[in-house]
Structure 1
Amino acid sequence: MRAYGFSEVGGPERECFFDLPVPEPGPGELLVRVRAAGVNPGDWRLREGTYGVAGPAVLGREVAGTVIALGDGVTGFSVGDEVFGGCPGMVGGWAEQAVVTASFTAHRPAGVAPEAAAVLPVAAGTAHDALNDLGLPAGATLLVNGAGGGVGIPVVQLARARGISVVGVASPAKHELLAGFGATPVAYGDGVLERVRAAAPDGVDAVFDLAGGAALRTVAELVEDRTKLLSVADKPLAAELGGRTVVRDRSTAVLAELARLVLAGELDPLVKQVRPLDEAGAALAEVERGHAAGKIVLVP
């Protein structure tokens, strides 16, 4: 089968197409014929060596597809089922066929397109788990630092669906989009604390950081209870500041709930580009530059 990944750790020049044997699903896994695969910042970070994978490896951590084989011990799925889920190991989803973890795979409802389902496990799943972790009640105020990105957009939508007010720190180019999803957008940079306080005069109850670095250090001042400070962008700094990172719940139940929210119109996966697998390199470059507005999906 044809697949796209990287030969060894490094920059984009290490990316390449592979001709590989079709993977065998192991215990607790499914083999799917890929219909769509999501593109995420984690893909270029994997290539750069952030997660300790030396390569060669196939990129892509989330897919939607059709089940073509079951690994040992798998129940609840059958050959021919339309599913979406997360990929384990070194053979990712940017391929004609891919392995997914059965416990992090759900049936795809007919009303959710493969391209929409394929982008739910990573970014929307992280947003869902962060909100469950914070446990904010309706009427609370959440500050999302880096609200215009792949995780920020779904967390704004999911928070608003729970009756939580959202202040979103983002570049001005993303403000109209955030406002359309019900957030109060404010700009990055000098004076951000004053702008947030003006937008939320009663204060914020939690901070979810997707930017890291100095931007995280600045907005951390806004929340006294540091158990309500989460970051997926800068885990060491979050810990230094008394906060923590998101513990993922990679389960079928979470994916089924996200699909339900899409069907209910409470979550827009915001797929803005659907590109052929041939354009995987260009798609990843766009995400790596931070220029992607909404999600990019690859279709074999």
Structure 2
Amino acid sequence: MPKAYVYTRHGGPDTEALVDVERPRPGAGQILVAVRAAGVNPVDWKLRGGYRRPGESEKTAFPVVLGGEVSGVVEETGEGVTGFAVGDEVFGNTVAGGYAEYALLPAAVTARKPADLSFTDAATLPIAAATAYDGVRQLDLPAGATLLVTGAGGGVGAAALQIARAFGLRTVGLASEGKKDFVEALGAVHVPSGPGFAKRVRAAAPDGVDGVYDLVGDPVLTEAATLLTDRSKLITAGAPPQTVADLGGSRVERARTSAVLDELARLVLAGELDPHVTQTFPLAQAGEALRTVEDGHARGKIVVEVAG
């Protein structure tokens, strides 16, 4: 039977296990892929811990397969799916987990993987890079404007800095001192995180910042808001909607389309977006991959690679 890395109840790492599962069957509008790589994201361990996205049911059917983004090869298509065929190399968001040998993807949020894009890099794009892209587009800053990204050393932050530069923006990255070299390598001015960072940002960007892309939440979000005269240019993927609304800003609005994935693949192949995969783990060590992200010390992206 196929293998999958799951959690068996809400809680900590002790709830995780590598288990045998039935091979999924695609429903209407879905694609079954043989997974080649799965991206690891903070939301994975947060969901294991009991976090629920807005509008989600309170009931959870265990075990739950971890992971929300994969790349792989089409094995089967469901009713109504057009544009994809068995053998196609694809990447996208998952229906019900991706740390597995097989995963289901919604066709509407799946894109063809270009031949020159590796499975490993492709697996990093549907969540972190797509969130970064959607946020930068939402801010709609003119070329030459300055964007502050908080939490700049993580997967979304690193992608946001690069995408912003591709759009002609100047970038300032707020991150720990240990991630200074990494942030600067992405073309951003690094500002050390910690209380009172707004003063340091003003010193680093004396002409001010025109937009803030927050990936941390409060109290960083509230302090970052003081740097803006136009609070409509404050967005967050790290705080609840009401928290940022009270400050005059908004949550990142996710597009969740294959067109965004196509554009991200183009940016990677053009050399404007480096996924910065810093570590890979086999499926049997998916728990170690998740610990690396959960501990908060990962730079760039962590990927679980599944043997083809």
Q: TM-score range by the shorter chain?
A: over 0.9
Per-residue CA distance 1:56-90 (angstroms, 9 max, x = gap): 210110000000100111111111000000002xx
1:102 matches 2:107: yes
Partner of 1:29: 30
Query: Structure 2 stretches of 5 or more lacking a match?
Result: 53-57
Q: CA deviation at 1:193?
A: 1.4
Q: 1:195 to 1:138 in 2, by over 3 A?
A: same
Partner of 2:291: 285
Please give the residue correspondences for 1:1-300 in structure 2 after superposition, counting only pairs within 5 Å.
1-51=2-52, 52=58, 54=60, 55-88=62-95, 91-235=96-240, 236-300=242-306
Query: Structure 1 stretches of 5 or more lacking a match?
Result: none
SS of equivalent to 1:169: strand
Quick one: percent identity of the two aligned structures?
54
Task: Identify which range, 122-131 or 231-240, moves more after superposition.
Answer: 231-240
Task: Identify which range, 222-231 or 127-136, moves more after superposition.
Answer: 222-231
| Distance in structure 1 (CA, Å) of the matches to 2:195 and 2:38 | 38
TM-score (norm 1): 0.97
Q: CA deviation at 1:189?
A: 1.7
* AA partner of residue 274 (structure 1): T
| Distance in structure 2 (CA, Å) of the matches to 1:43 and 1:116 | 18
| Matched-pair contact (CA < 8 Å) for 2:27–2:78 | yes
* AA partner of residue 62 (structure 1): E
Task: Identify which range, 47-56 or 34-43, moves more after superposition.
Answer: 47-56
Q: CA deviation at 1:227?
A: 1.3
| Distance in structure 2 (CA, Å) of the matches to 1:49 and 1:98 | 22
SS of equivalent to 1:106: strand
Matched residue count:
298
| Matched-pair contact (CA < 8 Å) for 2:31–2:107 | yes
| Matched-pair contact (CA < 8 Å) for 1:46–1:53 | no
Q: CA deviation at 1:53?
A: 6.1
| Distance in structure 2 (CA, Å) of the matches to 1:280 and 1:45 | 16
* AA partner of residue 77 (structure 1): F
| Matched-pair contact (CA < 8 Å) for 2:32–2:103 | yes
| Distance in structure 2 (CA, Å) of the matches to 1:16 and 1:183 | 39
Q: CA deviation at 1:135?
A: 0.5
| Matched-pair contact (CA < 8 Å) for 2:280–2:289 | no
| Distance in structure 2 (CA, Å) of the matches to 1:242 and 1:123 | 24
| Distance in structure 1 (CA, Å) of the matches to 2:279 and 2:288 | 12
Q: CA deviation at 1:18?
A: 2.2
| Distance in structure 2 (CA, Å) of the matches to 1:190 and 1:81 | 49
Moved segments of 4+, more than 6 Å: none
